[in-house]
Structure 1
Amino acid sequence: MQIKLLRSLLAATGTLSLLTLAGCTEPALQQVPVYKVAPDTLVHKVHTEGELFAVNSVTISAPRNVQGPRFIASLAREYSRVEPGDVVVTFDATQLERSQRQANTSLSSVLADEQQKLAEQQNEQKALGLDQTLIAQEFNFADRFSIDDVQIRSKLEILDSMQNKEYLGEKKEYLGWQEQSFSQRSSGELELLQLQRGQQQNLLQQAESGLAGLEVKAPHAGILLFESNWRGEKPEVGGMVFPGSKIGSIPDLALQHLKLQVIEQEAIGLKAGQRVTFHLAAWPEKVLSGSIVSVAAVAQSRERRDPRKYIEVIVAPEQQDPNFMPGIKAIATLWVNEKPGILKVPLQAIFSEQQQLYVYKRNGSGFVKQPVSLGSKSLSHAEISTGLNAGDEIALINPES
């Protein structure tokens, strides 16, 4: 009995050992996920977000005819409907009125100095004229009644007369030089006063022009939108703006396009004319269509803390929708490429070694490296140009690892 029990135990142990060996010899390659190659449609589409904007828009800027910053006194409500001639921005007049008073005071002072200088020059010129007339008469008299006969006058008197005549001649030349110098000096003084007068007149004109342009009015009907600065802040009452800086805009709502931001790595293959479907974030149930108008050549950062760069894509809707409004967010799908009837495989199944692309193709109970060449790509799949046929099975992971 014990011998039969021992034989049964040995038989059971042998059977268990055979089953264990059979399990160990089962190839681990059967656990590798595979993909069966078959004709299919390669769809390359990119999902992204953006917002609407008006193609035609009139910019509202601070006037350029005033030097220095200006302060906002009042603003129309953003997103409000404005008509032609409506006041959208009013600037504070305190600084301009102060500048006008200072320019008026300085101009009056310069005009008074100019009149005083003209009167002084006239008096000085009149005195020089009288001196020149007197010297000329004395010189003519000395020349006319000069007697150099020693029989009539002594030699000392003759010498004295000659010295007096020479003195009068020198003085006449000196008065001529003084007149010329006075003319040049007076001309320079008057030019300086005229320059100061012109400067004050320009300041006065700028102040008066600024006072006349304290209000910025809407040139046409539309929706008022304000511009954000680099800190994301919009204009507000009491805020400071510099001449020529953009305050806002009044877009023309008749024609609006879509501005999308596509991650640089996903923008491969984008070009004008490609189909786009999108919906507005506020109305997700309504799908609209359009086409790409332009693709930016250079990628740019969108946020300081975001290391990714984005390509700007402009899309023209097929038709304008009543719900369109500048700034409304939209979610879009860009249909980059659609190729039906091609062999495609997942990108994760493609490997490279020494600049050669290959896949792991099933061969019996194992896998072999099969070189391939690719055609078009999407974000998840690639077209197989050569190297595989319909019905082939390839590994989705590296079976060797």
Structure 2
Amino acid sequence: MNKKRIAIISIIALILIYFTYNYFSPSSDGQLYLTTQVNKGDFISEVITSGEAQSTSLKKINGPDNLRKFRLREIKIQDLIPEGTIVKKGDYIGRLDPSDVNEQIIDARLNLEGAEAKFTQQQLDTTLSLKQERNSLKDISFNREETRLELKQSIYEPPATIKKLENNLEKLERDFLEKQENYKIKKRQANAIMVEVSNKVFKIRNELNNLLNLLKSFTIYSSGNGMITYFKNWDGSKKKVGSSISPWDPTIASLPDLTKMESKTYANEVDIRKIKKNLTVKVGFDAFPDIEMVGVVTDVANVGENKRGSDVKVFQVSIKLEGSDKNIRPGMTTSNKILTFEQKDVLSIPLEAIFSKDSITYVYKKSGFSVTKKQVKIGDSNNDSVIITDGLNEEDIVYLNKPEGLNTAPIVKLN
């Protein structure tokens, strides 16, 4: 009988407790109310961004640096080894399209043949012309000697004959001197012309040799040891087969230093004001979820830029990775948790539990079987929680959604 009486009394007590709780609790009308406990502990605020790993120190692999000299503007990449290939100094990297250079080489060879033919023709013309001038000098010299001998043998001739011979000799002397001077002038002219055509041949031959050397440089070899990464254009696209290089940007690929890495990321206009230099960052990698490295913010852009494909302004943030890991490669996607604020041993609740009216911040606090609207003071917040500086104690229970029937209930203010 005693056991039965105890069981009946217990059931009646439970029923009374149930109805009492329902009477003093807010009317739910089928609505589910969520509650949470005030926690005490370390409070942190983080800005979480997605970024890309890259090296802070890299060696560029360039194409020819004298393209402008040969009036070459855009040269296409004809072949390029796969990105990520490990190479040693002197290994083959790729090849540029030689079409434009080959055309210039053909033109230069044709020009050289023409210049050499002109040189040979001018050489023959000069030899023949000077030979004729020398023969003419010899003829005048021969006539002069004959006249001189004839004058010596005419001492018994009449004076008129002697005078005539003297005049002829004098004329031949003048002709010889004039012809001799003309020969010297023509010889200098011929030498000048030969120098001119010779220089032209030398210039074209030198140009041809330079073009042939340029053609050799269109085959690109590694300038050091490391892992090949494709170089990025100004718009973020990578140079690959079919892309072009120019005299102003001859870089084809790069050899990054994998011991000096950083995460390049972007923050929006709301978060950027929280990010400062020297903040600690936890950097994770999508490709290796088990790897997490510590980083530090080294640079925060002062000027925003438009995010590609939208009008949203973003600000570039550079995060230097401390230490290195052989698995980390440039181009890997990173997740960056930037620690912007930290405070120890503080009370905090979810943001959903905070309500406000007439500049008064309050919560719905569970007090036994009833609910009170309690004023609180809040401090810093993050994306999920807010610090409570006054108004609540550790392990207090607050509502995450507004209970019905308490709109007109008074707010219990702080003393």
1:303–1:62 Cα change, 3 Å: farther
Mapped to 2, the partners of 1:226 and 1:72 lie a distance apart of: 12
246, 250, 254: which one pairs with 1:245? 250
Q: Secondary structure at the match of 2:159?
A: coil
Deviations 1:305-354 (A, max 9, x none): 6556655443222222344221122232444566889xxxxxxxxxxxxx
Decide whether the 8 Å contact of 1:65 with 1:206 is kept in 2: no
1:184–1:304 Cα change, 3 Å: farther
2:294 equivalent to 1:289: yes
Deviations 1:345-374 (A, max 9, x none): xxxxxxxxxxxxxxx999xxxxxxxxxxxx
Partner of 1:258: 263
1:50–1:101 Cα change, 3 Å: same
Partner of 1:344: none
Decide whether the 8 Å contact of 2:274 with 2:340 is kept in 1: yes
Mapped to 1, the partners of 2:382 and 2:203 lie a distance apart of: 67
Decide whether the 8 Å contact of 1:147 with 1:153 is kept in 2: no
**Percentage of matched positions with identical amino acids:** 19
Mapped to 1, the partners of 2:390 and 2:304 lie a distance apart of: 44
135-144 vs 239-248, greater mean Cα deviation = 135-144
Q: Secondary structure at the match of 1:289?
A: strand
130, 150, 154: which one pairs with 1:125? 130
Decide whether the 8 Å contact of 2:266 with 2:315 is kept in 1: yes
- Aligned-pair distance for 1:100? 4.2
Deviations 1:226-245 (A, max 9, x none): 23435655445455444562
Partner of 1:75: 80
Deviations 1:88-123 (A, max 9, x none): 313345555554454444434433432332232223
TM-score by length of 2: 0.58
2:219 equivalent to 1:215: yes
Supply the RMSD in Å over aligned alpha carbons: 4.5
Q: Secondary structure at the match of 2:324?
A: coil
Mapped to 2, the partners of 1:163 and 1:302 lie a distance apart of: 101
Mapped to 2, the partners of 1:120 and 1:81 lie a distance apart of: 63
44-53 vs 250-259, greater mean Cα deviation = 44-53
Mapped to 1, the partners of 2:190 and 2:99 lie a distance apart of: 39
225, 231, 234: which one pairs with 2:229? 225
- Aligned-pair distance for 1:63? 2.3
- Aligned-pair distance for 1:302? 5.1
Structure 2: gaps of 5 or more residues: 1-41, 346-357, 361-379, 384-388, 392-415
- Aligned-pair distance for 1:139? 4.4
1:294–1:172 Cα change, 3 Å: farther
Structure 1: gaps of 5 or more residues: 1-40, 342-359, 363-376, 381-389, 393-401
Partner of 1:54: 55
Mapped to 2, the partners of 1:162 and 1:262 lie a distance apart of: 110
2:193 equivalent to 1:189: yes
1:103–1:83 Cα change, 3 Å: same
Partner of 1:273: 278
Which structure 2 residues correspond to residues 142-157 of structure 1 after superposition, within 5 A? Answer: 142=147, 145=151, 152-154=158-160
1:55 corresponds to which letter in structure 2?
T
- Aligned-pair distance for 1:270? 5.9
Mapped to 1, the partners of 2:178 and 2:270 lie a distance apart of: 89
1:332 corresponds to which letter in structure 2?
N
TM-score by length of 1: 0.60
